[in-house]
Amino acid sequence: MSNQQTPLEAPRRRFLKSAAAASVATLGFPMVAKAQGPISMRWQSTWPQKDIFHEYALDFAKKVETLL
């Protein structure tokens, strides 16, 4: 066998070299992600405003807000 490349081997090797270089460049840079912004939620209550369960729900919401 001779050491000469066939016409198909040269383009294939160039492609593999460029693909390897592209993958190294891609992996070399870290992925930058942005943090999620604040979440605002609204809830609908079935209890009247003067009901004790509504007051409990408001107290719970205040406690959760202080945790954040």
For 54-65, the pLDDT digits (tens) are 899 889 989 988
The H or E element containing residue 56 is helix 52-67
22 vs 2: CA distance, rounded Å: 31
pLDDT at 27 over 70: no
45 vs 43: CA distance, rounded Å: 6
pTM: 0.38
